[in-house]
Structure 1
Amino acid sequence: MMRTPEKSCSFPDMANMDSDSSLSYAMLRNKRKRSDDIINNLEDVKNELKFEIKSLFEEFSLAQKDQTNTIITTLKDIQHTNSHLNNTITFLCEENSELRKKIEQLEIESRKDKEQIILLENKFEENLRTEKKSNIEIKNVPLKGDEKKKDLLNMVLLLSKKLELDIKQTEVKDIMKLNKNKNQQNTTLVVEFNSTLIKNDFIRASKLYNNKNKNNKLSSKHLGIGSNPDIQIFVSENLTPKAARLFYLARDLKTVKHYKYCWTNFGKVYIRHDDSSPIINITSESQVQQLLNK
């Protein structure tokens, strides 16, 4: 048997329902409540978002403000440092300029001092050369060491006779022995005559004798020294220390550069390449070096 289904309590014709019915009112009120909740929730979310954004913006603003303050402080420090550096650089530039002026002034004074020193040295050299203008040296003399001036004088007078010179005892003003160096076995006699004419004659006669007697040049036997008769002796001008140094260098120059002549005259040093070349007066060590470099 078929049962007739019971009628449902639904209202399919909702469009024709009475709007005043309690069911209709209840259903509509429920829908409005649910919509209001959603709207309220959205408002809450919106407000929360606004609050969060505002909070984040305020935090960001504070952070930016702190960073800006830090940057401003750093910039001020940099500006202060730069200002200090600029002042320091300006001061150093001014000081450097002053130092340059002082250095230039000192260089000028130094040049003047050097010129003055050279003038004084030349003056001293000239005075010393004048004092020695009548002196000769007899080098490599083998003395015992106990000889007196009278013994030395007799040696010089004996040598003058060998040179065929008529030198009297009164024409010898003084005679002395130079101190020997540690490496020297023999000594040097310095003889001072009364005039440069006698000195020049003595040196000239010595050179002439050696040129004529190449196998029997002047030696200690011509001084009357019998203990060492075969030791060669050398007669030359009595030079100043500066002239002696230049003469030594000039002789080396003569050997290296094959100069023909090297000699001294009146305490000055001269050199000459050959018979047709000019005579060169050697006045300084730098001049010798320049000639060596040619």
Structure 2
Amino acid sequence: MFSCTRCGNKVSDGPLCNLCKRQFDFACAGITETNFRKLGERRSTWRCIDCKNAQSPASTSYNNPGIAVRLEEMQATLVNITQQLVPLASLIEDVKTIKLEISNLKSSVEFAHQTASQLSVTVKSLESRISQVEEHTNLIHILGADLKKFKEDLQDKEQWARANNVEIKGIPVKKSENLYDIVDNISKVIQCSIRKEDINYIARVPSLKAESQKSIIMALNNRYCKEEFVAAARKHKELKVSQLGYADEGYVYVNDHLTLFNKALLKKAKDLAKTKNFKYVWIKHCKILARKSDTSPTFRIKSEKDLLKFS
């Protein structure tokens, strides 16, 4: 048994990505168990969609071909830095203990039976220990800053790997549905043609909501084609499910495919915008942007620190 990297469900079998070493259940991997078995010896070279997108020849202008390898190296570096940060708690406790020892020592000097030379040696030893602890503390601050930068770089790389992806929400799940036909219907309504050969990959992905609310992730071969599709959908405001031939009520949402981190960051930004009377918070080229009014300057939100700009 193992937990699927994408949805977290416990399953007994599923594909293992040859590049990033993540393991998925068959639904999240985008391949049926039967087709996976048919791969035979090629199962050992199977790659997940993120790694395929990162190394896709059609997107080499926008994606680094070695992104999966570098991400793995950066993750290894993060693990190494995290291990170096482990002694921080014990070092802080050492500082507290040493300061307490010095305080007690100074308050009891007049009652001590040690000679002046012995006291001097003890104090010097304690001061030396404090100096070493302070040096380690400074190093930990430096490592913490490096760790933060690595995390930001990883977030940027993960989002960049999705630069050609579109996330479509609100389409009800039906048995034997054809996702290519669904995209074709959307294209006709928003008047932005997407040919089948323009699509590198398309699949339903797990949702935190009900099974019937699974999003559709579509990876296009060309980033400009993706940007045109998203822009056309946004111009066509209030795209309804009924316009696509469904009897259901509700709306269809077409957006950039954000990482989980950026989705959470976008929600926080929108909540703050309401509180701080900001007029605009939007996504462009997978970037979160905000502006207080029509005449205010636009700023980008990359981390929670940038949320302080809402004032």
If the length of structure 1 is used for normalisation, what is the TM-score?
0.62
- Residue 166 and residue 287 in structure 1: after superposition, are their counterparts in 2 closer, same or farther (change >3 A)? closer
The residue number in structure 2 matching 1:291 is 309
The residue number in structure 2 matching 1:209 is 236
1:108 and 2:138 correspond: yes
Residue identity matched to 1:254: A
Query: Tell me, what secondary structure is at the counterpart of 2:239?
Result: coil
Determine if contact 1:174/1:193 at 8 Å carries over to the other structure: yes
Determine if contact 2:204/2:216 at 8 Å carries over to the other structure: yes
1:232 and 2:251 correspond: yes
Residue segments in structure 1 that go unaligned for 5+ positions in a row: 1-80, 211-216
Give CA-to-partner distance per residue, 1:193-217, whole Å, 9 cap, x none.
111111111111111111xxxxxx2
Determine if contact 1:263/1:270 at 8 Å carries over to the other structure: yes
1:117 aligned residue (138, 147, 157): 147
The residue number in structure 1 matching 2:222 is 195
1:82 aligned residue (104, 109, 112): 112
CA apart distance, 1:133: 0.6
Query: Tell me, what secondary structure is at the counterpart of 2:134?
Result: helix
Determine if contact 1:156/1:223 at 8 Å carries over to the other structure: no
Query: Tell me, what secondary structure is at the counterpart of 1:262?
Result: strand
Structure number having the greater helix percentage: 1
Determine if contact 1:261/1:272 at 8 Å carries over to the other structure: yes
CA apart distance, 1:85: 7.4
Cα distance in 2 between the residues matched to 1:183 and 1:168: 30
Which consecutive aligned stretches of 4+ in structure 1 deviate over 6 angstroms post-superposition?
A: none
Give CA-to-partner distance per residue, 1:234-257, whole Å, 9 cap, x none.
111111222212211111121111
**Please, what is the CA RMSD of the aligned residues?**
2.4
- Residue 94 and residue 184 in structure 1: after superposition, are their counterparts in 2 closer, same or farther (change >3 A)? farther
Determine if contact 2:185/2:244 at 8 Å carries over to the other structure: yes
Q: How does 1:1-294 map to 2 (within 5 A)?
A: 82-84=112-114, 89-144=119-174, 146-147=175-176, 151-182=178-209, 186-210=213-237, 217-224=238-245, 226-228=246-248, 230-288=249-307, 290-292=308-310, 294=311
Cα distance in 1 between the residues matched to 2:224 and 2:284: 12
CA apart distance, 1:104: 1.7
CA apart distance, 1:100: 1.8
Cα distance in 2 between the residues matched to 1:180 and 1:277: 36
Cα distance in 1 between the residues matched to 2:254 and 2:242: 14
Cα distance in 2 between the residues matched to 1:89 and 1:268: 62
Determine if contact 2:168/2:254 at 8 Å carries over to the other structure: yes
CA apart distance, 1:220: 2.1
Determine if contact 1:136/1:191 at 8 Å carries over to the other structure: yes
Cα distance in 1 between the residues matched to 2:210 and 2:173: 15
CA apart distance, 1:111: 2.0
Residue segments in structure 2 that go unaligned for 5+ positions in a row: 1-110
The residue number in structure 1 matching 2:93 is none
- Residue 94 and residue 198 in structure 1: after superposition, are their counterparts in 2 closer, same or farther (change >3 A)? same
Residue identity matched to 2:309: L
Identity of matched residues, %: 20
CA apart distance, 1:271: 0.3
Cα distance in 2 between the residues matched to 1:153 and 1:117: 42
Determine if contact 2:204/2:215 at 8 Å carries over to the other structure: yes
Cα distance in 1 between the residues matched to 2:154 and 2:305: 19
Aligned pair count reads 202
If the length of structure 2 is used for normalisation, what is the TM-score?
0.59
Q: Which moves more between the two structures, 176-185 or 238-247?
A: 176-185
Residue identity matched to 2:112: N
Query: Tell me, what secondary structure is at the counterpart of 2:217?
Result: strand
CA apart distance, 1:233: 1.5
Cα distance in 2 between the residues matched to 1:257 and 1:91: 59
Cα distance in 2 between the residues matched to 1:253 and 1:85: 64
CA apart distance, 1:90: 3.8
Query: Tell me, what secondary structure is at the counterpart of 1:206?
Result: helix
